[in-house]
Amino acid sequence: MNDDTITDDAVTGGRAPAVELLGITKHYPGVAANSDVRLRVRCGEIHALCGENGAGKSTLMKILYGMETPDSGTIAVHGEPVRFGSPTDAIAAGIGMVHQHFMLVDNFTVLENLALGAEGRHGIGVGARAAARELMERTGLRVDLDARVHDVGVADRQRLEILKVLYRGARVIILDEPTAVLVPSEVDELFGVLRAMVADGFTFLFISHKLDEVLAVADTVTVLRRGEVVGEVAAAAVDAGQLARMMIGGALPQPRPRPALGDRHAVLTVRDLAVSDPDSGRAALGPVSLTVRAGEVLGIAGVEGNGQTELMAAIAGLAAHTGSVVLTDRGGGSAELSSLSALRRRERGIGYVAEDRTRQSILGASSLWRNRILGFQSRLVCPRPWRALLDLARARRDTARILVDFDVRAPGIGVAMASLSGGNQQKLVLGRELSGEPALLLAAHPTRGVDVGAQALIWDRIRAAQQNGIAVLLVSADLDELIELSDSIAVLLRGRVTATLAAAALTAEDLGRAMLGGAASEGGAP
């Protein structure tokens, strides 16, 4: 502990501990994920856990939830020592975990999702329905029990995930990035529910990289850095800047100024772009028309599931579409891309940071330098006469450059991508996609799940790309990110652009209203 630590009584008001982790240590090959960690979470509080990617938060929570076994240390729940060999043991002790990514069966109803795996508690029929209704009444978390999950919005899915752990008897709930896909009004509603549940005796461990939200909802904050606890503070006693400095051990870099656009040429011109759902045949996107100029960041806002994924995939060449996609390269030549493959579109000058890096952007078991090659196979070739061979030495050299230029923290270019934290993986992906200075960067949720330090660097590199004349199409669920980085923001609702707004005139609340179908107060109208 350092001088940022506040004594237990000052932080918690003397309440009894719901969970205690004492001396928790966990090593992986070459990495100390947790080192002698002490964490005390009092009954009836919201206790936030903050730290950079790789600081040890996820490992610690996996240990508490029985997904990992510590090398040493002890866990006590309500004063009783416990040993968890699996999540089943943790659930039996009253601990539940709501994961960052929804763990739901989309073609099941809400009630079926609640009962799945917990049939022994309340059955699967009338008893399950009665228990679910009583739980919703008691917590204020209400969802239509007969709706199928694929038909409900993301806020209802988040409520359902919390209801699932409560349905299994949890009184201590771990929330991993619970607001990542919610708009501000939905965040406020969720926080109101959490506060009411705390008053009813529930306890929450809240993990988030959004420090303003941490300070808005938490009672206590514990900060981890490089696997160790560096401070425990009352949320009311600090601000976001102080927390960020505790997390990274110094000040965040100052953002670059937004460049003036002036009279720039169009880099991306999309006309009547439409995508159909391959399973149902229903329209998932469009028709959509938009233009992005050189050095412009056009943000795309929308509640998840309103066509953002399909828009980016169609432009990148990863989804079948109708309509026109025209790209003007850095040499001034324009080309219609609709008939080209994803690889050919990349060769024309498109960089793509996909929304799910683990499925779409990286090979976790492969080395960093091999990941550098992905999507660049046709450009990382040996000089003549060996053009059929990849220039592996060049790939290694450029990977080393990316590690320096994008502050990717890794022991070397030969380690497996999966050994890096999420933030460092994302920085490597962004460095790769900006290599060769593309004409257009498609950036989908570029800072989702990364810490404040990695976010600051990614924002800086996107702004640098903008200053270098690269056009950027940015999709993000972080409304502050959209407003900070974008010149203008197009709002997608049910697959169509319903408003285009000047970012400088917006607040997150304005943008949230527009995403839900209301008019923003400034900057544009449907």
Same domain, 101 and 200: yes
Same domain, 241 and 331: no
pLDDT tens digits for range 257-314: 776 766 789 999 999 999 998 777 788 898 999 999 999 999 999 988 899 999 999 9
- Amino acid 301: pLDDT: 94
Query: Given a cut of 90, is residue 508 above it in pLDDT?
Result: no
Domain for residue 69, yes or no?
yes
Domain for residue 278, yes or no?
yes
DSSP lists the bridge partners of residue 81 as 76
pLDDT tens digits for range 168-204: 999 999 998 888 777 788 888 889 989 999 998 999 9
Domain for residue 129, yes or no?
yes
Task: Kindly report which listed range (278-282, 460-464, 476-480) carries the lowest average pLDDT score.
Answer: 278-282
The count of structural domains within the chain is: 2
- H or E element, residue 285: strand 283-293
Cβ contact 173:204 at 8 Å: yes
Same domain, 278 and 243: no
Domain for residue 80, yes or no?
yes
**If you average pLDDT over residues 367-384, what whole number do you get?**
85
Query: Given a cut of 80, is residue 214 above it in pLDDT?
Result: yes
Average pLDDT, whole number, for the chain? 88
Same domain, 330 and 478: yes
Same domain, 99 and 221: yes
- H or E element, residue 486: none
- Amino acid 65: pLDDT: 94
Domain for residue 260, yes or no?
no
For residue 411, cis peptide bond before it (omega within 30 degrees of 0): no
Same domain, 270 and 243: no
**Gap between the Cα atoms of 210 and 455, Å rounded:** 10
Query: Given a cut of 90, is residue 152 above it in pLDDT?
Result: no
- Amino acid 513: pLDDT: 87
Query: Given a cut of 80, is residue 30 above it in pLDDT?
Result: no
Surface-to-core class of residue 165, CB atoms within 10 Å of its CB (0-12 exposed, 13-18 middle, 19+ buried): buried
Query: Given a cut of 60, is residue 523 above it in pLDDT?
Result: no
Same domain, 201 and 285: no
**If you average pLDDT over residues 376-388, what whole number do you get?**
72
- Domain end among 216, 248, 280: 248
Task: Give backbone dihedrals phi and psi of 287, rounded to 5 degrees, phi first.
Answer: -75, 140
- Amino acid 524: pLDDT: 41
Same domain, 134 and 274: no
Same domain, 204 and 295: no
Domain for residue 313, yes or no?
yes
- Domain end among 186, 218, 248: 248
**Gap between the Cα atoms of 433 and 436, Å rounded:** 8
| The token pair that represents 501 in the structure block | 């707004």
Cβ contact 218:235 at 8 Å: yes
Report the predicted TM-score, pTM, of the whole model to 2 decimal places.
0.75
**If you average pLDDT over residues 400-411, what whole number do you get?**
92
416 pLDDT band, cuts 50/70/90, is very high
Q: How far is CA 94 from CA 171, 234, 353, 421, in A?
A: 5, 25, 39, 29
pLDDT tens digits for range 316-360: 999 999 999 999 988 888 999 999 999 999 999 999 999 888 888
- Amino acid 493: pLDDT: 92
Query: Given a cut of 50, is residue 58 above it in pLDDT?
Result: yes
Domain range for residue 422? 266-357+418-515
**Regarding beta strands 440-444 and 471-475, do their DSSP bridges make them parallel or antiparallel, or are they unpaired?**
parallel
Same domain, 141 and 183: yes
Q: What CATH code is carried by the domain that includes residue 318?
A: 3.40.50.300
Which of 62, 25, 14, 16 is CA-nearest to residue 205? 62
Same domain, 66 and 104: yes
Domain for residue 412, yes or no?
no
- Amino acid 89: pLDDT: 94
pLDDT tens digits for range 232-250: 999 999 998 899 889 888 7
Domain for residue 526, yes or no?
no
522 pLDDT band, cuts 50/70/90, is very low
Same domain, 241 and 307: no
- Domain end among 248, 279, 294: 248
High-pLDDT (> 90) share of the chain, %: 59
